Structure 1
Amino acid sequence: MKYVIIGGDAAGMSAAMQIVRAKQNHDITVLERGEIYSYGQCGLPYTISGIVDEPEDVIARSVETFRNKYGINAKINHNVTNVDQDNKEVHGTITTTGEPFKYEYDKLLIASGASPVNPNWDGIDLSGIFHVKTIPDTKDILSYLKKDVKNVTIVGGGYIGLEMAENFKEIGKNVTIIQRGHQLMSPFDSDMAKLIHNEAEKQNINVVFGESVTGFSGIEKVEKVITDQNEYPTDLAIVSIGIKPNTQFLNDEFEFGEIGELIVNEYMQTNVKDVYAAGDCASQFNKVKQKNDYVPLGTHANKQGMIAGQNLAGESVTFKGMTGTSILKFLDLQIGRTGLSEKEANDLSLNYDSVTITTRPVAGYYSDEETLTVKLVFEKETKHLLGGQIIGHKGVDKRIDVLATALFHNMTTVALLDLDLSYAPPFNGVWDPIQQAAKRTL
C-alpha cells in the first residue's frame, strides 16, 4: 500500500505516525513544501519576548527523525501543484531546482494546512512587513528587530495579533493594533470584548477601531501604515487578518466549504475515493451547531490527523466533533471561549438567553485581587448549554475546559450544578464560578 501525505506538520505527521504504528512494512511519502516538519506554530509569538528561547525550540520531531527512526520518505521543498485522482498521482515542483516530480498513491491524505491572507495592498512588499505563520517568518522578525525598531503596528486584532502585541510590549516596543471592526477578538461577544479593550488601554497598547488598512508607505522599508482615514508611523508591521486553506492546487471535483476548506466526513474522507483530508485545510464538524464548520486550531489538526491515519491504516475510527474551544493569554488576562457566542446563536435563529457574572476565581476571603467574568449562553426553554466565554486573571483554563466537556456531552446549565468540582480556598469557592453563573439561569 502506497501512502502519500501532502503536508509535514501537525495533521500530516500525526497521520503518518499512526500508519507507522499500525503497519510493520509501510510505504509512506510525505511532501512538504517547506523545510521544517512537525512544529508548534502557536509557540512562535513567544520567541519575540524570549519566553521561548529560539524558534527551533517549537519543533517536535526533525525531518531526520522521521526518515531515520521511522522510515518515512520525508521530502522537503516539494510544492504540490496538482492531484490527478483518476490516475492516483500527485504532481508538483521542487522549489529549489524547479524540477517536476510525480508520486503514485493508493491512499492520499491532504494535510496542506493554511496560509496567511496576503492582501494586495500598496507597499505590501516593503521591508519590515511580516506574517507570523512559520519558523522562517519568525526568524525574519527577530532579525529585523536588531534594527532601530521602536513602533510596531499590528493589522488585525485576533488571536495572533493579540499574542504578538503582548510579546512586542514585553520587549518595550510601542504597539498599535488596527482593527477594521469595532472590537478585538471577534469570536467573543461585544460585552466580553470590552474587558479585552480595557486591558489594552491599561497596558498602553493603542487600539484603532473602525479603520481599514489600504497600504503602506516608505522608501525600501515600511515607514507608515495607511488606512482609509489616517496614517500611522511605524518601524515594523505585522499583517494578521486571517488565513486561507491551502487547497488551490485541487480541481473542482473536490467538495469545498465557504472559504476553500475541503469538506470531510467523520472518517476524514473527502468526496473523492481514497483521498482524505485533515487539519487547517479541512472542515471540522461542530457538535453544538450540528454542522460542518471551520475552526483551524492545533488541537483539531492533531486529532483529525490521528483519526485520518488510523483510517488510512485500515481501522474504522470517527471524529466525534469539536466545540470550538480556545484560550489566549493577553498581558494580565486569560481569555477563553467554547461553543456559541450570542451572535452565533442569533445567526442560527436559536431561542437563547445568556447570563454574565463577575466573581472571584478563588475563595473571596483568600484573595480579593483577581476577578473572573463568566458568560453562559443557553437555550431558553430547555436550559441546554450552548456556549461559554470566560475572561479573568487566573483559573480561566480550568473553567473553560469544564464547559467544553459539558457541551460535548450536551449538558444543561442545571446539570452544571450537579458537577463535583474541586474546592479549596486557594483554588475555588464552594460554588465554582461557572456554577454561580448556572444558578442565574434557573
Structure 2
Amino acid sequence: MKFVIIGGDAAGMSAAMEIVRNVESPNITTLEQTAIYSYGQCGLPYVVDGRIPSTDDLIARSVDAFRDKYAIDARIHHQVTNIDTKKRIVYGDDFEVPYDKLLIATGASPLIPNWKNRQLKGIHTIKTIPQMHALLKDNAQAQHVTVIGGGYIGLEMAEVLTAAGKQVTLVQRGAQLANMLDTDMVDIVHKEAERQNVIVRLNTEVTGFKGDDVVEYVVTSQGDIATDLVIAAIGVAPSTGFVDQHIARAKNGAIIVDAHMQTSVENVYAAGDCATHYNRIKAQNDYIPLGTTANKQGRIAGLNMAGKFARFKGVVGTSILKFFDYTIGVTGLNEKAAKALHIPYVVYQYEGNHIASYYPNVKPLQIKMLVHQHTERILGVQIIGEVGVDKRIDVVATALSNQMTLSDLLDLDLAYAPPFNGVWDALQHVAKRNSKID
C-alpha cells in the first residue's frame, strides 16, 4: 500500500503520523512545494516584533526528523501540477508519483486581487516562513506600513507592527473592522485601534499602488496613502487549482469531503484549509480555515487511510484573537449568519466581571449571546475583554458541541475562587437573567 500526501504542514503531517502509528512499516511519500515542513503558521505575526525570536521556533519537526525517525519519504520543492485519479498518479513538472491512497492537504493561499501595479516591491502577504523572511527584510527600514484588511491577520499585524515602532494605517473596504463580530460589538475594537495610534480607514477600497520600483502609495477610493510597506491580509482561497476535475469542489474551490475526509473519488482524501469543514451549528459544509481544524481533519484522514474508522464531527466556528490589550472571542453564529439561515433567535447582552467583583484588578467582559427563540438552544457567543475571554469562549464552544440550552448553563459546575471567577460565572449570569424555565 502506497500512501501519498500532498502538503507537508498541519493536515498533511498529522495524517502521516497517524499512518505511521497504525500501519506496520508504511510506504509514505509526502510532497511539499517549499523546503519547510510542519510549522505553526499562526505564530508568524509575532516574529515581527520579536515576541517569537525566530521563525525557527515555529517549526515542530524538521524534514530530516520525518525522514530519519519515521522513515517517511519527505520530499521538498515538489509542487504538484496535476492528479490523474483514474491512473492514480500525482504529477509535477519533473516528477510523477503513483499512489494507492492519496491525501490532498495543500492548504490555502492569500488572496491578492488584480490591483494595479501589484508587482511593485514592498507588497507582501503572510502565510509561509519564506514570505515572513521577505517581509522582515523590507520591514527593517520601513517607517509607515499599510495593512489592507481588518480581519484576524490584519488586526494581529497592526498590533505587532505598532509594537515594533511603525506607524500603521489599517484599510478596510467595509464599515467595520473585525467582521467576525456584530456591528454592536465592534466599537471596543475601533476605540482600541485609535488609542494605540493606528490610523483606521473604513469604507475604503484599494484599487492599486504607485511607485517607480518600490511601493510608495496605496491608491484607494478615498485618496492615496503614502507608505513604505504594504501587507495584504484580505483572506485566503483553497489551493486546489491543480485538482482533478472528477474531485467535487465547493464554489470557493474547497474540496468537498465527508465525515471520513473522503472526497468524491475513491481512495482520495482531503483535509485542512483546502477542504470543506462541516459546521455543527449550521448542519452543513462550511469553510473556516484554522490550524486547529487542519490538525483534527488530518488526524481523521490518516486514521481512515490506515484502515481505521474515524469520523470528523465538525466545528462550531470557534476563534480567538489578541488585539493590543483586548481579547476577542467568538463561537457559533453571529446575527448575520443566523439571519442567512433563517433561524429565529433572540439576543442577550451582558457586561460581567472576569473574576469576583470585590477582588483586586477586576476587568469587565462584554458578552453577546444568541439563543434560539423557541428552544433556547445556544446559537453563538461573542465576548470581548482584557482578561478571561478564553475560558468563557471555550465553555460556550463545549456547550454548542453538546447542543446545550441557555438554562443548561446554570447547571455547569464551573471552577470558583475569587481570584478566578465569581460564584456565578459571567455566562451563568446571562442565563440567570434570561432563561425561561418552566
Aligned counterpart, 1:38: 38
Task: Measure, in 1, the Cα distance between the counterparts of 2:431 and 2:38.
Answer: 40
Note the C-alpha offset of 1:368: 5.3
Q: CA deviation at 1:146?
A: 2.3
Question: Which residue of 1 is the match for residue 88 of structure 2?
Answer: 88
Partner of 1:436: 429
d(CA) in 2 for partners of 1:165 and 1:345?
30
Counterpart of 1:102 (choices 93, 96, 105) is 96
Q: 2:254 aligns with which of 261, 276, 297?
A: 261
The answer to whether the Cα contact below 8 Å between 2:85 and 2:244 also exists between their aligned partners in 1 is: no
Give the one of 120, 125, 134 matched to 1:131. Answer: 125
What is residue 115 of structure 2 aligned with on the other side? 121
For residue 44 of structure 1, what is the amino acid of its counterpart?
Answer: L
Paired residue type of 1:315: K
1:338 to 1:128, Cα distance in 2 relative to 1, 3 A: same
Equivalent-residue separation in structure 2 for 1:14 and 1:220 (angstroms): 42
Q: After TM superposition, give the deviation of residue 150 of structure 1 in Å.
A: 1.0
**1:185 counterpart (178, 181, 204):** 178
Which amino acid in the other structure matches residue 21 of structure 2?
Answer: R
The answer as to whether partners of 1:155 and 1:239 remain within 8 angstroms in 2 is yes
Q: Does the 8 Å CA contact 1:341/1:377 hold for their aligned counterparts?
A: yes
Q: Which residue of the partner structure matches residue 246 of structure 1?
A: 239
CA-CA distance at 1:34 after TM superposition: 0.8
Q: Does 1:336 align with 2:326?
A: no
Aligned equivalents of 2:73, 2:187: Cα separation in 1: 50
Q: CA deviation at 1:145?
A: 2.1
Give distance in 1, aligned partners of 2:218 and 2:202. 14
Counterpart of 2:49 in structure 1 is: 49
d(CA) in 2 for partners of 1:206, 1:439 = 41
The answer on 1:143 being equivalent to 2:137 is: yes
What letter matches 2:318 in structure 1? T
Letter in 2 for 1:208: R
- What is the rounded CA distance, in whole Å, between the counterparts of 2:104 and 2:357 in structure 1? 51
Whole-Å separation in 1 of the counterparts to 2:228 and 2:428: 47
RMSD of aligned alpha carbons: 0.9
- Match of 1:201, SS state, is helix
Deviations 1:294-345 (A, max 9, x none): 0000000000000100000000000011101100100000110000001110
Cα distance in 1 between the residues matched to 2:380 and 2:19: 36
Q: 1:301 aligns to what SS in structure 2?
A: helix
* TM-score scaled by length of structure 2: 0.98
**Residue among 200, 209, 222 paired with 2:215:** 222
The question of whether the paired residues in 1 share the 8 Å contact of 2:332 and 2:380 is answered with yes
Q: Distance in 2 between matches of 1:114 and 1:306?
A: 18
C-alpha distance in 2, partners of 1:163/1:76? Answer: 30
Determine which of 382, 391, 406 is the counterpart of 2:384. 391
Q: Distance in 1 between matches of 2:244 and 2:74?
A: 25
Greater Cα offset, 360-369 or 76-85: 360-369
How do residues 227-376 of structure 1 correspond to structure 2 at under 5 angstroms? Answer: 227-367=220-360, 369-376=362-369
Measure the CA separation in 1 of the matches of 2:25 and 2:413: 48
Partner of 1:353, secondary structure, is strand
Give the aligned partner of residue 22 of structure 2.
22
1:383–1:441 Cα contact (<8 Å) kept: no
Say if 1:191 and 1:135 are closer, same or farther in 2 by CA, change over 3 A.
same
2:198 to 205, 220, 224: 205
Q: What's the TM-score once normalised by structure 1's chain length?
A: 0.97
Moved more, 82-91 or 427-436: 427-436
In structure 1, stretches of 5+ residues that fail to align are 94-99
Aligned length: 435
List structure 1 runs of 4+ shifted beyond 3 angstroms: none
How far apart in 1 are the matches of 2:228 and 2:432? Answer: 50
Letter in 1 for 2:227: T
> SS in structure 2 opposite 1:295?
coil
Q: Percent identity?
A: 53
- Whole-angstrom distance in 1 between the partners of 2:45 and 2:289: 17
